[in-house]
Chains A and B, each alone.
Chain A
Amino acid sequence: MNQRFFAFRGAAAVAIAVVLVAPIRAAGQTPSAKEPTAAPNVTPKKAAPSPKRWVPPRTSDGQPDLQGIWDYRTITPLERPRELGTKEFFTDEEAANYEKKENQRQNRDLIDPEQGGLFYPPGGVVPYNEFWYDRGDKVSGTKRTSLIVDPPDGRLPAWTPEGQKEASRRAAAQRNDQLGHPLADSWEDRPLQERCLVGLNAGPPMVPGAYNNDVQLFETPGYVAILNEMVHSARIVHLDGHPHGSIRQWKGDSVGHWEGDTLVVDTTNFNRETSLDGSSANTHLVERFTRTGPNTLLYEFTVDDPTMWTRPWTAVVPMTKSDDPIYEYACHEANYAMTGILAGARAADKAAEDATEKRTK
């Protein structure tokens, strides 16, 4: 983890530099040595003005080649901080300030448990120290103030009454966790991510998170595979045009097609909620993957879940190419935390019982 962590930082810095200069340089760049040797069917024009004009290489069967390992770490929040109102992009200076402030605020080692910080209340429990985090420390390449681009205020739309109920339940549960007395009568009280049933940021949809923000795309005739490092989640997307079946799954059922150079993946049939906080089994997810340059890929997704949100919403997550391989993430196999959480809760029950007994005697 350590090696990976440092290797990653270097790679990310380079990648972000590439993103920042992309609008000017992208057109002139030739594919790196790691690119497949199959010749692109269109030679990039010299003076293409925007990265949108960059034409991705083709796989040997002629599809746009999105393959590679993509890093989607960023410190850009999903929702725009309220104080930024309708401001969609940071200036360079504002971005630097935001990064500095957020990296400080999110650093677990700088939180004094007595005083609280981030979302930890005073006297609460800060479970992981900073060593374990591998979140992005830079805002995304375009310096957006939020990953959400629609609604235009960069924030999740209003909850439906059902969504509000669930949001309140979740907020109360999180509060209890942070105060150190989690609700854990059984493992079923714990979120899917803690049970390793779905991956925190593996999605679908993929939303940058605390660590393991890596995904590898594979293309074979008729299929695209989306392999997330987080909880070794592999999604196999059919491109043969067959409709969604009737089987519900934790990761839903994904079918895909090409719209020009963009891969569009349509997912329904979720089992219950998705890995997204607040979503329901009724989620209809549409993801779009577009390569915007030799080392950049734009990932966009639209969530339509009329059970929970009053309108659909859309987010964009720029990804950068990584040379680091995807490693095994054996989540369930080493889920000692679940045993710890349940055993801790039973010990707390026992202590409370003993205290009651003492009082009544």
Chain B
Amino acid sequence: MQNWFRSAIFGSVGAAFIAILWQGVVPVAAHGQAVQAYRAPRTADGKPDLNGIWEALNTANWDIQDHAARMGPVVSLGAAFSIPAGRGVVEGNEIPYLPEAAAKKKENAEKWLNSDPEIKCYLPGVPRATYMPYPFQILQTPQHILMVYEFAGATRTIYMNSKLKSPNDTWMGWSIGHWEGDTLVVDVTSFNDQTWFDRAGNFHSDALHVVERYTRISPDAIDYEVTIEDPKVFSRPWKMRMPLYRRLEKDAQLLEYQCIEFAEELLYGPLRKQPSK
């Protein structure tokens, strides 16, 4: 829903991309050519410059697969907070769930309001943080790349060419990066099994392994490709792909979305002191 507002401010570049990417089946080829054709500006150490405030402009956070519009969960909010239709971001639109996992996905979808970690303001994990309807900022230095997401103030540091290991499982994963030509490749592991991919109940286990590829394809867009591997949940690796757009407003700024206070009544409400009878 917020996408409708945000779409207005992305400007014509974003609109052009949407036109290219959303109008047909051709995009992968067209997209691929664009990747090769564009040479991104460089940082002082000669790498493609990914610095900036970026945001996905799609409905993947509702459902990473193709989905028609449908009514939202709150009757009184009617048309304002219902679910917009969207083309999926999953390559081939199919997620290769193992049989038990497919049943679990279905159950998640049915129990969405009680189970989705987003509703509780939990750290959203990767890649979901990338395509939630909030901006995120990349701060790129030679050894460490910091990504800060507006949702829940989530953060992750990408350690470049590092052998550092995570001492524990985490919500946002443990990210090790390297450059392959003009593409930033990030290998993310050490996840817990608490995050989801979307509001449709798509999920993973603690065996999740994510490989992200960030490639600048124009002055104001990044091609974002993610490979998902999780042998406990999926029968084979699968991919998502989408453009990320630069927030072009002159005073673009990552603001706080400190959502804990929006979830406390939901989480702790029953433990509030009731007026004495």
Q: How far is the CA of A242 from the CA of B139 in the complex (A)?
A: 19
| Chain A 6-64 interface residues, beta-carbon cutoff 8 Å to B | 36, 59-61
> Are B256 and A251 within 8 A (Cβ)?
yes
Interface size (A, Cβ < 8 Å)? 47
B264 at the interface (CB under 8 A from A): yes
Q: How far is the CB of A233 from chain B (nearest CB, A)?
A: 7
> Are A196 and B260 within 8 A (Cβ)?
yes
> Are B261 and A195 within 8 A (Cβ)?
yes
Q: Cβ of B141: which chain A residues have Cβ within 8 Å of it?
A: 67, 218-220
> Are B271 and A342 within 8 A (Cβ)?
yes
User: Would you give the 0/1 interface string for A331-356, flagging 1 where the beta carbon is closer than 8 Å to chain B?
Assistant: 01100001100110110010001000
Q: How far is the CA of A225 from the CA of B155 in the complex (A)?
A: 11
> Are A349 and B51 within 8 A (Cβ)?
no
Number of A-B contacts (CB under 8 A): 105
- The dominant DSSP class at the A interface is mixed
Q: Cβ of B172: which chain A residues have Cβ within 8 Å of it?
A: 328
B26 at the interface (CB under 8 A from A): no
Q: How far is the CA of A353 from the CA of B146 in the complex (A)?
A: 52
| Chain B 231-262 interface residues, beta-carbon cutoff 8 Å to A | 251, 253-256, 258, 260-261
A227 at the interface (CB under 8 A from B): yes
> Are A4 and B272 within 8 A (Cβ)?
no
Query: Residue of B at shortest CB range from A222?
Result: B51
With A218-B139, A232-B153 known to touch, is A4 a contact of B264 (CB < 8 Å)? no
B114 at the interface (CB under 8 A from A): no
With A227-B146, A232-B153 known to touch, is A187 a contact of B167 (CB < 8 Å)? no
Q: Cβ of A185: which chain B residues have Cβ within 8 Å of it?
A: 272-273
> Are A326 and B157 within 8 A (Cβ)?
yes
A186 at the interface (CB under 8 A from B): yes
> Are A195 and B264 within 8 A (Cβ)?
yes
Q: How far is the CA of A345 from the CA of B267 in the complex (A)?
A: 16
> Are A342 and B268 within 8 A (Cβ)?
yes
Q: Cβ of A232: which chain B residues have Cβ within 8 Å of it?
A: 123, 153-155
Q: Cβ of A251: which chain B residues have Cβ within 8 Å of it?
A: 256
With A220-B139, A247-B255 known to touch, is A225 a contact of B146 (CB < 8 Å)? yes
A104 at the interface (CB under 8 A from B): no
User: Would you give the 0/1 interface string for B103-126, flagging 1 where the beta carbon is closer than 8 Å to chain A?
Assistant: 000000000000000000111000
Q: How far is the CA of A330 from the CA of B154 in the complex (A)?
A: 9
> Are A330 and B170 within 8 A (Cβ)?
yes
With A234-B153, A242-B251 known to touch, is A4 a contact of B167 (CB < 8 Å)? yes
Q: How far is the CB of B70 from chain A (nearest CB, A)?
A: 29
> Are A330 and B171 within 8 A (Cβ)?
yes
| Chain B 13-32 interface residues, beta-carbon cutoff 8 Å to A | none
B140 at the interface (CB under 8 A from A): yes
Contact of A332 among B140, B164, B260 (CB under 8 A): B260
